[in-house]
Amino acid sequence: MTESTAKQNLLDLDREGLERFFADELGEKRFRAHQVMKWIHHRHVTDFDEMTDLGKPLRAKLLERAEVIVPQVHFDKPSTDGTHKWLLGMDGKNAIETVYIPDKGRGTLCVSSQVGCALNCQFCSTATQGFNRNLSTAEIIGQVWVAAKHLGNIPHKQRRLTNVVMMGMGEPLMNFDNVVRAMSVMRDDLGYGLANKRVTLSTAGMVPMIDRLSEESDVSLAVSLHAANDELRTELVPLNKKYPIAELMAACERYVRRKPRSSITFEYTLMKDVNDQPVHARQLARLMRQFGNALQVKDAAKVNLIPFNPFPGTRFQRSGEDEIRAFQKLLLDAQVLTMVRRTRGDDIDAACGQLKGQVADRTRRQAEFRKHLEQITGGEGGDAAA
């Protein structure tokens, strides 16, 4: 057997992994890993020769054994409301989208975890693109690196990165190890120094992995609910057939019990005449009250109402403003903490549910959606993935 000549991409490693690499692979002191982390994540330096507090012999070792490969920016596009979207190349065939949303003293980065998505949530544009593969840790944290470097270059606009949400393309808990490792770097003082509560993972309801997340990471949890009865939720979120609402809510209870003073945000996308009627609001209020009563914790559940963001070929429509406010009022009257998410970046297709990127689909879902689009547009729909 010949010895592998592949270089280690240092973006793939969290602090513990980088310390092991320096000690075991390079024969160096562990604190050297801390120096390199600061160069990469604080100063956005990827050239070892520019890491001037490292001796020449160590820099030579790094040049031989390691590299720092960040995602390639295919384009970056600002919105009129200050939102910013990047299309980032992951390899020769695939690209993913990452979105930055500034708002009143905070800046939130929406990060992708997969190329496409293996789930098939009916109201999500990403689902129409199918699925190719999981992202590596380097490709996940690389999105943060690109955004932080960009924001650091425009200090006069006073834009900064304060929050990260794993709500971009993909189901994060289906890429558990890489996502958890990347979130560790996000929260590390040698990485991006974000508080635990300012890193949020959103899941469609991977029940076993919610339990594992509560044991292995300390981040905020959001659950894509979208319906409070199993029949409708299974239609909208097919994963519900495997992990129905009762099992999902039980996992959420266990998560909060293991995380004192924590709460869970339940995301609910409002679609006209689908899940926005008073009966749906009452069902949701009942479910949230049951959740809070079981835990005996005030505001253990928060509901985030999301107006549906249309995309070409979808059968769903956005609920009207009156319906949205009436839905919120029914929840608030039932003592359920409820917010309405303001739509941001929809002029550049950067709003919630609109991310799609470029996916070399292995599921044939993209071809099926194109066929559907041609049927409803008489063959004038064009390329839905463009």
pLDDT, tens digit, 9 for 90 and up, residues 296-325 = 887 899 999 999 988 888 899 999 999 999
The pLDDT assigned to 377 comes to 41
* Catalytic option among 97, 139, 171, 323: 97
- The pTM assigned to this predicted structure is 0.88
The pLDDT assigned to 221 comes to 97
Pair of tokens at residue 253: 């209870």
Q: Residues with Cβ < 8 Å from 341, sequence gap 6 or more?
A: 304, 305, 306, 307, 352
CA 299 to CA 91: how far, in whole Å? Answer: 43
Contact 125, 115 (CB under 8 A): no
Contact 222, 256 (CB under 8 A): no
19 CB-side CA count, 13 A: 7
Helices (H), 202-320: 207-216, 230-236, 245-258, 278-295
The amino acid at residue 156 is: H
The pLDDT assigned to 116 comes to 87
The pLDDT assigned to 383 comes to 36
**Fold held by 8-67:** DNA polymerase; domain 1 (1.10.150)
* Catalytic option among 110, 121, 252, 352: 352
The pLDDT assigned to 110 comes to 95
Domain boundaries, the chain: 8-67, 72-371
Give 259-273 pLDDT, tens digit per residue.
878 899 999 999 999
> Residues in the chain with pLDDT < 70?
1-5, 153-159, 343-386
Q: Is 97 a catalytic residue?
A: yes
Q: Is 322 exposed, middle or buried (0-12, 13-18, 19+ CB in 10 A)?
A: exposed
307 CB-side CA count, 13 A: 16
- Which CATH number applies to 72-371: 3.40.50.360, 1.10.3720.10, 3.20.20.70, 2.60.40.10? 3.20.20.70
What residues form DSSP beta bridges with 303?
266, 338
Q: What are φ and ψ of residue 277, in 5° steps?
A: -90, 160
The pLDDT assigned to 231 comes to 98
With tokens 């049951």, the residue in question is: 290
Cβ atoms within 10 Å, residue 38 = 16
